[in-house]
Amino acid sequence: MIAKLHIPAPPLDRFVESFFYYTGFQPEHAVDRFIPDGNVYMIFDLTDQPKYIYDNHTLKEIQSCKRVWFSGFRTEPITIPSGAESEMIVVNFHKGKAFPFLLLPVGEVTNCDQTFKLWNLTTGQCTLTFHGFDDVIYTTRFLSEHEFFLGTAQGRLFYYNFHPHLPGT
């Protein structure tokens, strides 16, 4: 298994607590149940297989998520796959700091998992634009599954690489 935790540098650290990358995880169980923790996550699934959210009581599939999605603030547990056969980057936002990425009040995504069709499948690139503090506009351009640029309207550009095979990332 490969697992890497990355704490972003400024300015992204104002919004994002951490990035977590993993692949090769082979748990013995099929599903995990998480209790509410007050966090909002953005998940980048680097595989082509959809991931499912299950009913907490019957374990029937109730929602499919694919490629990129936000997992909103929760008031009840969520039951999801254990992570077997997965390769993901999970963005863990600081509490209350996901708004610039969502452009929605967090209350509107409570107990919600919203899939976004952000990837341009022709070029394999993804672009997000969001508003930050002090009306700074950030643009995130994903160059691949493991690297992206974060640019500001003021002309500053930051490069992030989460390639699992590079030391120090």
**What share of the chain has pLDDT > 90, as a percent?**
20
**What share of the chain has pLDDT > 70, as a percent?**
59
Q: Is residue 73 part of a domain?
A: yes
Tens-digit pLDDT profile for residues 17-32: 998 989 899 999 999 9
Tens-digit pLDDT profile for residues 103-130: 555 555 555 544 444 444 455 444 454 4
Token output for 163: 């390639």
For residue 103, give its domain range: 2-161
Beta bridge partners of residue 150, listed in sequence order: 140, 158
Q: Is residue 33 part of a domain?
A: yes
Q: Is residue 141 part of a domain?
A: yes
Q: How many structural domains are present in the chain?
A: 1
Q: Is residue 166 part of a domain?
A: no
Q: Is residue 169 part of a domain?
A: no
Cβ atoms 100, 132 nearer than 8 A: yes
Q: Is residue 84 part of a domain?
A: yes
Q: Is residue 67 part of a domain?
A: yes
